[in-house]
Structure 1
Amino acid sequence: MAKKVLMVGWHPSVVAYDKWPGLTPEKLEAGLRADAAALEAAGYETEIGFIRSGETATDQVATQLRETAYDVVMIGAGVRRDDEHFLVFETLVNVVHEHAPQARIAFNTGPTDSRAAIERWA
């Protein structure tokens, strides 16, 4: 049975790109989708959970975790490394802990190393 992976991160349309020099919505989405495709090719069932606001992120991710038993949940660098989103990050870690206690939690450093982050814990 394939391991199930959820990649959680900001939707490319809501990222503050001034904080991420050289990153564009197209590069962000392309990097994440390429990592998801590589994971799929390696035999993982992969879903990208794009979040659009701190106000809806908790409910959205909790719903996804109730609907599917994931083996690994990765919370993206844009959520984790941006001090402006510290509380969103903290809340999401606790949502994963509550709704998917069996899942490993992984963290990437950017949109092109999600596969490596997930494979560390899968």
Structure 2
Amino acid sequence: MSTSDVLKPWRVLGFGKHPEIGEKVQARLREAGLAATVIVLTDDEVGDTRLIKELGDAEYDGVVIGSFVSGQDPELPPTELTTLWFNRVLNVIHAHAPSAKIILVRNPGDALPAIRRVLG
């Protein structure tokens, strides 16, 4: 998908586990014209608090959940721990941004197509 294929300046929050991936994805999304914030979360109370803060800072059209957290990465299958983390963040998003659409990605390159599939 070319960057010109994203037609609306959607506001999206993305998160995952790896900072180096998050930085690249955020740059790609902003280049496509999205109001994008991508953060790194930890699987603990600190991470949950960070997510709650970010969700309260703006009204998001969508929340992009990285493939490691969601269990969508075909090379890193979900574990009991990641499944618990995924369930917890889904409930945090539901409680603090009930109108935001949930967007799951299978890998970093899937972020723009996934956003387009869900929001567009």
> Which structure 1 segments of 5+ residues have no match?
13-28
Secondary structure, counterpart of 2:85 in structure 1: helix
Q: 1:87 aligns with which of 84, 89, 98?
A: 84
> 4+ residue runs of structure 1 moved beyond 6 angstroms?
none
Secondary structure, counterpart of 2:13 in structure 1: strand
**Aligned equivalents of 2:117, 2:70: Cα separation in 1:** 18
**What are the equivalent positions in structure 2 for 1:25-104 lying under 5 Å apart?**
29-30=20-21, 32-81=22-71, 82-83=78-79, 84-104=81-101
> Which structure 2 segments of 5+ residues have no match?
1-7, 72-77
Secondary structure, counterpart of 1:113 in structure 2: helix
% of aligned pairs identical?
Answer: 31
With a CA cutoff of 8 Å and minimum separation of 6, indicate the structure with the bigger relative contact order: 1
Secondary structure, counterpart of 1:112 in structure 2: helix
**Aligned equivalents of 1:95, 1:53: Cα separation in 2:** 13
Paired positions, count: 105
Could you tell me the TM-score, scaled by structure 2's length? 0.77
**Aligned equivalents of 1:57, 1:37: Cα separation in 2:** 22
Do the aligned partners of 2:25 and 2:38 also contact (CA within 8 Å) in 1? no
Could you tell me the TM-score, scaled by structure 1's length? 0.76
Do the aligned partners of 1:10 and 1:50 also contact (CA within 8 Å) in 2? yes
Tell me which amino acid in the other structure corresponds to 2:17.
W
